[in-house]
Amino acid sequence: MAEFNLTLNEDQLQLKDWVHQFAKDVMRLNAEEWDDREEFPWPIVQEAAKIGLYGIDFMMNAMGDPSGLTLPVAIEELFWGDAGLGMAIMGSGLAAAGISGNGTPEQVIEWVPQCYGTADDVKLGAFCVSEPDAGSDVSSLRTRAVYDEANDEWVLNGTKAWITNGGIADVHVVVAAVDPALKGRGQASFIVPPGTKGLSQGQKYKKHGIKASHTAEVVLDDVRVPGRCLLGGKEKLDAKLARAREAGRTGEAQPAMKTFEATRPSVGAQALGIARGAYEIALDYAKERVAFGKPIIMNQAIAFKLANMATQIDAARLLIWRAAWLGRNGGFKNGEGSMSKYYASETAVRVTEEAIQILGGYGYTREYHVERMHRDAKIHTIFEGTSEIQQLVIARAISGLRIE
Ligand SMILES: Cc1cc2nc3c(=O)[nH]c(=O)nc-3n(C[C@H](O)[C@H](O)[C@H](O)COP(=O)(O)OP(=O)(O)OC[C@H]3O[C@@H](n4cnc5c(N)ncnc54)[C@H](O)[C@@H]3O)c2cc1C
């Protein structure tokens, strides 16, 4: 077990500088353009792949770090650069996490690299859980998976909503109900390989923020996938279903929930990067902007806002690093993953709003980045579990009660 340590090692410091350089030179400079275009930023993701920032090797290196801190450190820098472009670079990671969390070693080896492709031929992954009538309530998924024993194939039908990289991904990981009566315990995750017939993109959403990230519906119409595409394998699923039927409930987390809990510190790190970016712009601005004959920071009303922003950003980072370390070293006990995501995302919304306030009229326009950062921050209180759902997870963890 690695010791929890707030001092980054030499490799982590180098990685932080390297990612920061890319965030500053490529992402910040191109952020406004891709926010306006509201399209998937292929050239930026390809550039990230060329330098090794997007790809399986980068993810393996980050995931292999025993302290758990490498990934949040890198993500904070990326999202400091820009959240929309950052999501375009990080979006495949959720599919990769879904495969790693639920797949057999053979499935991980076969499918995770296909979520990224190569530097010359970039591919994407998508993790498809949410549905029009089931976002927070993932136990109510309507997408069905039915086993066709004669052909050893699974047949998937349903509609997935708000899917990052949905329809443009090469590998879609789909969570579906095998036995709807068992709610979350009757679900399983399936790989839909590239080019599979019956999977199509539905509407592409126009969004409030992270506009460079592609978000769309995924329609599954009699999608047939080979038996080997069931993550974890049939034997394990059959045993799980049998236990659930016998006991009424097994207490096991459903596949999607396991993935989300493990990725929450990373989502917190995204929000943290946005918050720090906005705070730095506001601090610089407050020192330079003169009103009533002195820099505005010389007013406590402004200086105290900045003091609060700095405090909340540091507190968020400490929660994220602790959660990332726990995730790698012994697991969460009191909903620490949810605490980190909840606090960091609420902080990002508050800090970016305060940044706009500090920049006044300039903050409200697109001349500075803070207006976009505020729009981008908001998604973090919604996706991968809303703030209310994080509070629910924490409340259940600390009380041991099934609070509704
Ligand atoms: C840009 C974007 C990208 C996304 N990417 C993905 C993706 O890649 N894959 C994927 O599967 N999904 C994705 N999502 C979906 C996202 O995870 C869901 O939107 C989110 O979980 C909320 O679900 P919902 O929208 O159905 O809201 P609802 O569940 O309907 O919630 C509505 C409101 O009610 C509150 N609420 C609901 N239940 C409770 C309760 N029990 N107690 C208290 N309050 C409650 C919520 O907190 C929220 O405020 C994405 C969404 C967006 C917008």
Cβ(227)–Cβ(215) under 8 Å? no
Q: Does a structural domain hold residue 378?
A: yes
- Give the H/E segment covering residue 162: strand 153-164
Q: Is the CB of 379 under 6 A from ligand 1?
A: yes
Rounded to an integer, what is the distance from CA 145 to the centroid of its chain?
25
Tell how far the Cα of 129 is from the centroid of ligand 1, in angstroms. 10
For residue 225, the domain's CATH number is 2.40.110.10
Does one domain contain both 283 and 391?
Answer: yes
Query: What's the domain range around 87?
Result: 10-115
Q: Is the CB of 382 under 6 A from ligand 1?
A: yes
User: What does the angle CA 280 – CA 69 – CA 380 come to, to the nearest 5 degrees?
Assistant: 55
Q: Is the CB of 390 under 6 A from ligand 1?
A: no
Mutation choice for ligand 1 from 162, 187, 211, CB with most ligand atoms inside 8 A = 162
Does one domain contain both 263 and 373?
Answer: yes
Instruction: Give the Cα separation of 315 and 340 in Å (integer).
Output: 9
pLDDT recorded at residue 2: 78
Q: Domains in the chain: how many in total?
A: 3
Does one domain contain both 226 and 328?
Answer: no
205 CB-near residues (< 8 Å, 6+ apart): 162, 215, 216
Q: Of 115, 144, 168, which residue constitutes the final position of a domain?
A: 115
- Residue with CA closest to ligand 1 atom 48: 386
Which single residue is written with the structure tokens 């001092």?
7
pLDDT recorded at residue 181: 95
Residue 399, class by beta-carbon neighbours within 10 Å (0-12 exposed, 13-18 middle, 19+ buried)?
exposed
For residue 95, the domain's CATH number is 1.10.540.10
Nearest to 189 by CA among 134, 238, 128: 128
> Taking the CA of residue 40 as centre, how many other CA atoms within 13 Å lie in the half-sphere pointing to its CB?
22
Q: Is the CB of 116 under 6 A from ligand 1?
A: no
Q: Does a structural domain hold residue 1?
A: no
pLDDT recorded at residue 216: 98
pLDDT recorded at residue 35: 98
Tell how far the Cα of 382 is from the centroid of ligand 1, in angstroms. 6
- Give the H/E segment covering residue 149: none
Tell how far the Cα of 137 is from the centroid of ligand 1, in angstroms. 8
pLDDT recorded at residue 262: 76
Q: Does a structural domain hold residue 147?
A: yes
- Residue with CA closest to ligand 1 atom 35: 388
Instruction: Give the Cα separation of 189 and 368 in Å (integer).
Output: 42
Q: Is the CB of 352 under 6 A from ligand 1?
A: no
Which numbered atom of ligand 1 lies nearest the CA of 133?
26
Q: What are phi and psi of 92, to 5 degrees?
A: -65, -20
127 CB-near residues (< 8 Å, 6+ apart): 94, 95, 97, 98, 163, 164, 173, 259
Q: Does a structural domain hold residue 4?
A: no
Q: Is the CB of 163 under 6 A from ligand 1?
A: yes
DSSP state of 227: G
Active-site annotation, residues: 384
Does one domain contain both 51 and 107?
Answer: yes
pLDDT recorded at residue 91: 97
Q: Is the CB of 162 under 6 A from ligand 1?
A: yes
Q: What are phi and psi of 153, to 5 degrees?
A: -130, 155
Q: Of 247, 263, 288, which residue constitutes the final position of a domain?
A: 247
pLDDT recorded at residue 3: 84
- pLDDT beneath 70: ranges in the chain: 248-260
Q: Is the CB of 262 under 6 A from ligand 1?
A: no
Which numbered atom of ligand 1 lies nearest the CA of 130?
11
Cβ(192)–Cβ(171) under 8 Å? yes
Which numbered atom of ligand 1 lies nearest the CA of 94?
8
What the block records as the tokens of 400 is 């041991």
What the block records as the tokens of 42 is 């292929």
Cβ(75)–Cβ(90) under 8 Å? yes
For residue 297, the domain's CATH number is 1.20.140.10
pLDDT recorded at residue 260: 67
Instruction: Give the Cα separation of 5 and 57 in Å (integer).
Output: 25
- Give the H/E segment covering residue 85: helix 83-90
Nearest to 107 by CA among 228, 244, 195: 228
- Residue with CA closest to ligand 1 atom 44: 388
Which single residue is written with the structure tokens 């902080």?
347
Does one domain contain both 230 and 310?
Answer: no
Does one domain contain both 153 and 217?
Answer: yes
